[in-house]
Structure 1
Amino acid sequence: MSAHGANGTGPHLRRGASFGDESYLIGRRQQLAEAKKMLRHSRLVTLTGVGGVGKTKLATGVADEVRRAFPDGDWLVELGALEDEGLLAQTVATGIGLRDQSARHPSDLLCDRLRDTRSLLVLDNCEHILDGCAALTDRLLRAAPRLRVLATSRQPLGVYGESVLSVPALAVPEPHRTLRPEAAAHYAAVRLFQRRAAEASPEFTLGPENLETVVRLCRRLDGIPLAIELAAAQLKTFTPQEILRRLDERLELSPDNTTADLPRHETLRASIDWSFDLCSPGEQRVWARTSVFAGSCGLDAVEAVCSGDGIPEESILDLVAGLVDKSVLIREEQGAEVRYRLLETIRQYGAERLAEAGQKPALQQRHRDWYRRLVDRAEAEWLSPRQETWLARLQSEHANLRTALEFCLSEPGQVQEGLDIAASLWFHWLCSGFLSEGRHWLGRALALAPQDTVARGKALWVDGWLSVLRGDTSSALPQLEECRALALRLRDTTTLVHAEQFLGGCALYEGDFRQAIGLLEKAVEGHRAAGDRNGLMTALYQLTVACAMSDDPRAADVGKECLDLCDEAHAPWSRSYALWALGLYRWRQGEPRHAAELLRDALKTRRVVGDGWGIALCLEALAWAAASAGEAEDGARLLGAAEVVGRSVGISQSGFQHLAAGHERTEIRLRTELGERRYTAAVRRGARMGRDRAAEWALYGSSAPASWPPREVAASQ
């Protein structure tokens, strides 16, 4: 199975695929069997061992072999790049496909999602947030009796009932033993070296002329897989004899000694030191500098952040290629983009080198500056044909955005930058399902920067907006009132217009349509006068909904203006919301079939971008339209699907208070027309479809392909 979802939203494990090539499990047959046996008898199994010993590869191999026993899901959540333990539950929720659109804590959503499932959760690299991992794992296991957790850590989690498997180094031949090549290859360490050596240098073969050297080399490296792979990568430049001699010099050993008295972590450290020394000065600098990235990064980011101070930007590509050849950087293809990452042990080493050189703060600031520019560019281009591209890009950069924000909120004098970045990411928090996390960062930044600034004003209205969208108007109102007061003090009309717009949004979601219309009309005029197309689009959308729900005929013209604006900008995601609002209005006007056409058009885009919240709202409104059109069975089925999809993102079955009346009216009508038994059966059929199958059925009915969802969409669940 792949460790990443196709849409880049997080460290998902793709069901139905393969974890990786079988070479990952060289020499691990016994540990594989032991771990599988432990999982049958224990609900928490932790694989422990030194860095570089292969815990992650073993865990993914185990999960691949047992996944048939977990029909409700299996997910890998990589935690190595997570710096803020407060985001642990959010990270795991994202990893299993939960989009956080509610005011509930992510751990509560996790418990609800996993409660009745037979599923497997793999938590990788827990050691740096051990207490948080232990607490969350304990809670999930208590809430979900059929859940199993497989963790990797340098030490046990310490949770009651935990089974611990210590992952040993790979087997190496005993000293002074004479072996033939075919016999030596039975030892896992030699076999791994042989495999990786052939990849680095295709002409390499294990034979009598180099067998003793390779065996001694594997013993020198104490059978640690990462150390062996780094050494084998050097065969592009050195012979096995040269590698062994240089390693002996690094370990300060004579040819007749072994590393028996050297702790394994020191052996690994020495081998990484040696690999570092074999790099060119430019490669060494890029290795250290790329340690500021979290997760993976694109070449453009490496060029911007890691060049300078003696490294021309045009030389970065060759230096990156050299580090890939040396197995330092891992090259990965994500769709049409090539990205690079460091294994966690290698990244930590690079960070130490960067700190020793006194360059860490400067590189962290360069990293922050690059992502600040990226976010600014994305916000400026949001209402454009690049909406889906920007959504995917920021989802793939989510770990780096976190790192940039953490730097801003941890380093003196940087908090205003953090306010700006967190607020300018409003569309990422909204569209990618990170409402809770967005509020987390905004809350931290606002607490650290109480001064009256334009940046604070923007952060306040974005925080208020996210609260409104989570259905938490009680939290939103104080933020928006403060924002309005601050705008008046600063005489900042832009901030004032946004404050009034989202106060109107509060009124809308609380069902006070008259007040909402008054505030939103003012906001529309303010955005239009300022030439703010992003603000104008969202205000027009909200005004359309408010007019539709109050049967105000202006909804048609306002909705058309919103739709025309989105069409002119070729902005598909925004267009889908304009269509939804117009569909709602047509349903209210007694035109259910016209409404359904508009809603299905909106659903097509929501499905493509994996917008669980938007899909739930489309399914809900389509249920109302079906009921009004006399398609009672379909209406009940759609209500069941909307309920399940809505619950997966933490919203109620009616979405928000302003939609509650439509839901209740439709439910009463369907229960009356179908009778309780048929109604309940239809709702259950809809609930069993799941998000993507329900969306496809709503679009195409019985002609929807039975193989849905395709792999790339399923991965985003």
Structure 2
Amino acid sequence: MTGTTSRRLKGNLPAETTSFVGRRGEVAKAERLLSTARLVTLTGVAGVGKTRLALRVAAQLHERFPDGVWLIELAALTDDKLLPHAIADVLGIQDRSTRPLLDTLSDHLTDKRLLLVLDNCEHLADACAMLVDRFLRAASELRVLATNRHTLRVAGEHLLAVAPLPMPDLTQAKSLPTRYAAVRLFGERAAAALPGFRVDACNRDTVARICRRLDGVPLAIELAAVRVRALSVDQILRRLDDYLEFLAEGSRIAVPRLRTLRATIDWSFTLCSVEEQDMWVRASGFIGGFDLDAAEAVCSGAGIPAEAVLDLVACLVDKSILTRDSSGTRVRYRMLEPIRQYGQERLASSGRRMTVQARHRDHYGRLAEQAARAWLGPDEVERYAQLQREHANLRAALRFCLTEPGEERAGLEITTTLWLYWFLSGSHTEGRYWLDRALESNPEPSPARAKALWLNGEIAVIQADIAAGLPMVEECRHVAQRLGDEVALAHATRITGVATFFQNDIPGGVGLLEDALTRLHRLSGAGLWVALFQLAVMTAVLGEPERTIDLGEECLTLSHPRAHLSRLWALWTLAIGRWLAGDREGANRLVRDALCVNQPFTDRWGLAHSIEMLSWIAAAEGHYERAARLLGAADLLWRSTGVLPSTLRHLAPSHHQCEQQTRQSLGNKTFTVAFRAGSRLTTDEAIAYALEPQRS
């Protein structure tokens, strides 16, 4: 590689949007624990600051973990069966094989020095414990920092109890309240809400009393502090006293900390206008955040005009009910989990739960439809990225449809509408999970069931689970014939052809694909492009590069110049055709174009294919050290998908030839050094290296 550059820290930790107050002792202790212990769990009541402390500790330790610090947010996950998928999403692992995803994840982590931050484990505690135990046994350099109300009960776990922030003892007259973290937190958050506010000699005793009244619980203090916009600190204290004493009336014991937080959230709710309360309750239905378009679609109506949503969202941000994230191209909003859960309870008791959840389902169903229509067009990448951002909300919509009586048909429609997303995102196993549930809930023959059958069958076949896939394709054929569904019949023929190809009958597979292609040419749509691509791969294996090139050209013609996802595969298809035809220069140019197209969204499956081919070209032109490095970089990407090139018929011959030729030319020792150097590259570094000019 050229030059020396500092390595960019890997991971997905969010930037801090507010100051971090206090907790020096806890941060230092957690850092010390993680230097020796492999699992540290931060425990404490809701709102005490476990998540914020975990993120600060993780950020402080980032440089110790060359393979990254990765935050797994679990509050949005309600099904423990999807826990491995949530982790795979964050780590960029794509489950394209039938191998259990836990095995793929364990293998990926085996030689990694990284820190996993598992946040909000309580509702998935058993599944988290099993998964953490499995990972720690598989990866000796792995560290896990978890947040949970209680211990995970995993061998080797070290606990760090997160207490409320220190508060001044009001019985000591000479105490300086501003020395205490609770008071400083109130002061900083109040100043953010009301510029110019400061804790001074006139108000510090009152602020200290507020903090003690709230038991030093950070979230409760923050919710109270933002009220300085409308109330003096004396008014805040008086209203809190009245409210908490009302709650504790009839009890001889003080309100426990958890009830204090609940009471503070409840108090914040009562101080909101009726419209703000409605907005809070309706927005609690979002999982993992939402944007303004989603808020207008889901939360408007019945007293909230669509044009009022923006102002109401802004009001809830001002009151710290919503947090604002502007790190992406679109601003997103989210609720801290205790606040969201409170909203969910209010929603359940309001009688409007079904209405809000149905609007949520309809909105995300429309997003899925828009993404499906955008395939091959100029908005293809933008719509795909939108689905990635909304994955948690899509899961919530599907869960609602497939658990709520009477909503099953909508679940079937949404699951099948996402068919290209399941493939492109590498979420094969999750796609099958939802399709299995949707098919079970919708046994009657229908076009939607026929589509679900061929889609589920295709995912199974692509994962080499042909025994499970073909029966579904056959059932699809029967349903389609009964309904006269020509589209489903064409897809059933196409997928049978793919299965036939995988079963070593290449001419038979080609014949079936040609039949399907004839049908799909009459019908057009995304299925035509898919059939062209699959037939191109088969003709490459048959040794018909000219036909592969022709099919690749047709794929490229169907793709808009800005349809980068479909375009990268069309370019790659052309590249392998040129490679097989002996045109290394043409193959090199095309595969580099594919790599450049892929770069913005780093599809690992596509990257692996492109870097793999560049290694072949390097070896063929005598650049053996470069070839070995590229093989190493590609190997890391392949392993993250659960598939190796040696198992792929269209890649295996060239892969074996490249590896053998490179190893023989360099010798085992030099080859291994270069290969390992390539495997240590980050994705961005691998792309940059692959795109470097190949010196003659």
State TM-score, norm by structure 1.
Answer: 0.91
Q: What letter is aligned with 1:55?
A: K
Q: Which residue of 2 aligns with 1:715?
A: none
TM-superposed deviation, 1:45: 1.0
Q: Map 1:166-315 to 2 at 5 A.
A: 166-179=161-174, 183-252=176-245, 261-315=254-308
Find the aligned partners of 2:133 and 2:669 in 1 and give their Cα distance. Answer: 39
Q: Distance in 1 between matches of 2:125 and 2:202?
A: 48
Check conservation: 2:12, 2:69, Cα contact below 8 A.
no
User: Which residue is equivalent to 1:5?
Assistant: none
Q: Report the equivalent of 1:687.
A: 679
- Give the number of the structure with larger relative contact order, counting CA–CA contacts within 8 Å between residues 6 or more apart: 1
Q: Could you tell which deviates more after superposition, 588-597 or 689-698? A: 689-698
Look up the equivalent residue of 1:641 and give its one-letter code.
A
- Structure 1 CA distance for aligned equivalents of residues 127 and 619 of structure 2: 47
Shift of 1:424: 1.2
- Structure 1 window deviating more from structure 2 (283-292 vs 545-554): it is 545-554
Give 1:213 shift. Answer: 1.6
- Aligned to 1:563, the other structure's residue is in SS state helix
Q: Point out where structure 1 has 5 or more consecutive residues left out of the alignment.
A: 1-12, 704-717
Alpha-carbon distance, 1:17 to partner: 7.3
Aligned counterparts of 1:76 and 1:530: Cα–Cα separation in 2: 44
Could you say which residue in structure 2 is the equivalent of 1:377?
Answer: 370
Deviation at 1:280, TM superposition (A): 0.4
Q: Contact between 1:50 and 1:154, CA under 8 Å: does it hold in 2?
A: yes
Q: Deviations over 1:542-590 (max 9, x none)?
A: 11221222123432322211111114x6422111111111111111112
Q: Secondary structure of 2:326's match?
A: strand
- Give the SS at the match of 1:175: coil
Q: Paired residue for 2:559?
A: 566
Aligned to 1:133: 128
CA distance in 2, matches of 1:361, 1:648: 39
Q: Are the structure 2 counterparts of residues 353 and 643 from structure 1 closer, same or farther at C-alpha, using a change threshold of 3 Å?
A: same
* Structure 1 residue 253, shift from structure 2 partner: 6.5
The residue identity in structure 1 corresponding to 2:552 is G
Provide the residue aligned with 1:647 in structure 2: 639
User: Could you say which residue in structure 1 is the equivalent of 2:533?
Assistant: 541
Is 2:651 aligned against 1:670? no
The answer as to 2:91 corresponding to 1:99 is no
More off after superposition, 538-547 vs 287-296: 538-547
Aligned position for 2:109: 114
Cα deviation, residue 673, structure 1: 4.2
Q: For 1:509 and 1:689, how far apart are their aligned partners in 2? A: 33
The alpha carbon displacement at 1:218 in A equals 1.0
The structure 1 residue matched to 2:343, chosen from 339, 350, 366, is 350
Q: Which moved more, 1:66-75 or 1:292-301?
A: 66-75
For the 8 Å contact 2:165–2:216, the answer to whether it is kept is yes
Identify the residue that residue 5 of structure 2 maps to in structure 1.
none
Residue 327 of structure 1 aligns with an amino acid whose one-letter code is S
SS of alignment partner, residue 295 of structure 1: coil
Aligned to 1:83: 78
Q: Deviations over 1:513-570 (max 9, x none)?
A: 31222122222222221132x1111111111221222123432322211111114x64
In the alignment, the residues of structure 1 paired with residue 26 and residue 629 of structure 2 have an alpha-carbon distance, to the nearest angstrom, of: 47
Which of 558, 572, 575 matches 1:580?
572
Tell me the CA shift for residue 511 of structure 1: 4.4
**Among residues 13, 20, 26, which one is paired with 2:16 in the alignment?**
20
Equivalent residue number for residue 3 of structure 1:
none
Letter in 2 for 1:92: I
Letter in 1 for 2:16: G
Deviation at 1:55, TM superposition (A): 0.3
Aligned partner of 2:604 among 591, 600, 612: 612
> CA offset at residue 606 of structure 1?
2.0
* 2:322 alignment partner AA: L
Counterpart of 1:712?
none
Partner secondary structure for residue 206 of structure 1: coil
In 2, Cα distance between equivalents of 1:82 and 1:240: 38
Deviation at 1:93, TM superposition (A): 1.9
The alpha-carbon distance between structure 1 residues 693 and 507, as it changes in their structure 2 partners (threshold 3 A), is farther
Q: For structure 1, which segment, 476-485 or 281-290, has the greater mean C-alpha deviation from structure 2 after superposition? A: 476-485
- Separation (CA, whole Å) in 1 of partners of 2:462 and 2:45: 44
Q: Which one of the candidate residues 518, 523, 526 is aligned to 1:530?
A: 523
Alpha-carbon shift at residue 672 of structure 1 (Å): 4.2
CA positional deviation for 1:604 = 1.4
How far the C-alpha of 1:597 sits from its partner, in A, is 1.4
Distance 2:558 2:504 in 1: 26
Deviation at 1:270, TM superposition (A): 0.9
Name the stretch that deviates more: 607-616 or 285-294: 607-616
* Aligned residues of 1:471 and 1:656 also touching (Cα < 8 A): no
How many angstroms apart in 2 are the aligned matches of 1:572 and 1:70?
Answer: 33
Contact map agreement 2:13 2:71 (CA 8 A) in 1: no
Count of aligned pairs between the two proteins: 685
The aligned residue for residue 477 of structure 1 is: 470
Structure 2 equivalent of residue 453 of structure 1: 446
Percent of pairs with identical residues: 48
The alpha-carbon deviation at position 467 of structure 1 amounts to 2.5
In 2: Cα distance, 1:313 partner to 1:14 partner: 40
1:678 CA drift (Å): 4.2
Q: Distance in 2 between matches of 1:634 and 1:38?
A: 41
Contact 2:178–2:204 at 8 Å: present in 1 too?
no
1:650-698 C-alpha deviation (Å, 9 max, x unpaired): 1113362343233223333334444444444443333233433222212
Once the two structures are TM-superposed, the CA of residue 630 in structure 1 deviates from its matched residue by 4.0
Distance 1:565 1:36 in 2: 54
**Alpha carbons of 1:74 and 1:341: their partners in 2 closer, same or farther (altered >3 Å)?**
same
Q: Which of 50, 54, 60 lines up with 1:55 in the alignment? A: 50
Determine if contact 1:197/1:232 at 8 Å carries over to the other structure.
yes
Aligned-residue offset at 1:623: 2.4
Letter in 2 for 1:23: S
Is 1:422 aligned to residue 415 of structure 2? yes
**Take 1:82 and 1:92, find their aligned partners in 2: how far apart are those partners?**
11
Q: 1:550 to 1:198 in 2, by over 3 A?
A: same
In structure 2, C-alpha distance between the alignment counterparts of 1:259 and 1:629, rounded to whole Å: 85
Does the 8 Å contact 1:511/1:657 carry over to 2?
Answer: no
- Conserved in 2, the CA contact under 8 Å of 1:511 and 1:658? no
Aligned to 2:651: 659
Q: Does structure 1 residue 413 correspond to structure 2 residue 403?
A: no
Residues 606 and 612 of structure 1 are in contact (CA less than 8 Å); yes or no, is this contact kept in structure 2?
A: no
Alignment equivalent of 2:156, drawn from 158, 161, 169: 161
TM-score (norm 2): 0.94
- Cα distance between partner residues in 1 of 2:142 and 2:370: 42
**How far apart in 2 are the matches of 1:16 and 1:380?**
31
Relative distance call for 1:191 and 1:482 in structure 2 (3 A) is same
Q: Deviations over 1:435-490 (max 9, x none)?
A: 22111111222222222221111112222222333343343222222222222222
8 Å CA contact 2:539–2:547 kept in 1: the answer is yes
Looking at structure 1, the residues matched to 447 and 357 of structure 2 have their Cα atoms a distance apart, in angstroms, of 25
Going from structure 1 to structure 2, the CA distance change for 1:395 and 1:279 (only over 3 Å counts) comes to: same
Q: Against the structure 1 CA distance between its residues 71 and 682, is the aligned structure 2 distance closer, same or farther, given a 3 Å change threshold?
A: closer
Distance change >3 Å, CA 501–CA 216, structure 1 → 2: same
Partner of residue 480 from structure 2, selected from 474, 487, 506: 487
